[in-house]
């Protein structure tokens, strides 16, 4: 089952109808192939309303089907999620990001929260640098 079908099924299970504009958003996300901004999506979907695009992105992020990655310049990019809790390596050169998991890092974060009598409700970790391809280009 592809992303469009999976996302559509998940949305329907929580009570959202499968409309033609929403399916168009799902297909555009699946076709993106690289991290994208909401503006990229809007530009590729001139016949779909802004509100539909923004609502669909928000729902897919809440369902953990999309990753939302804030960049150092304050912008945000999205990409299909690989599932499970994870963190990101973000390339400053090309903008690509890679998901990774680190159970030891997550354990240390939990330890810090407990040590400070803090009820942790979530966390996000983005590490910024250069990927192999960008280092090879002298970026």
Q: Are 126 and 90 in contact (CB under 8 A)?
A: yes
pLDDT tens figures, 10-48: 999 999 988 999 999 999 999 987 889 999 999 999 999
pLDDT in tens, 55-111: 999 999 988 899 888 888 888 999 888 777 889 999 988 888 888 999 999 999 999
Checking if the pLDDT of 138 tops 80, the result is no
CB half-sphere exposure, 110, CA atoms < 13 A:
6
Reply yes or no on whether the pLDDT at 139 is more than 50: no
């Amino acid at each position: 089952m592809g992303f469009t079908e999976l996302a559509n099924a998940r949305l329907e299970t929580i009570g959202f109808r499968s409309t033609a504009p929403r399916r168009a958003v799902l297909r555009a996300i699946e076709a993106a192939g690289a991290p994208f901004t909401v503006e990229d999506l809007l530009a590729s979907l001139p016949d779909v309303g802004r509100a539909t695009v923004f609502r669909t992105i928000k729902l897919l992020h809440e369902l953990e089907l999309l990753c939302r990655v804030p960049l150092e310049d304050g912008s945000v990019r999205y990409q299909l999620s690989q599932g499970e809790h994870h963190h990101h390596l973000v390339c400053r050169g090309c903008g690509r990001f890679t998901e990774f998991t680190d159970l030891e890092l997550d354990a240390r974060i939990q330890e810090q929260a407990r040590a400070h009598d803090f009820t942790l409700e979530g966390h996000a970790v983005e590490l910024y640098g250069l990927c192999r391809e960008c280092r090879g280009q002298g970026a």
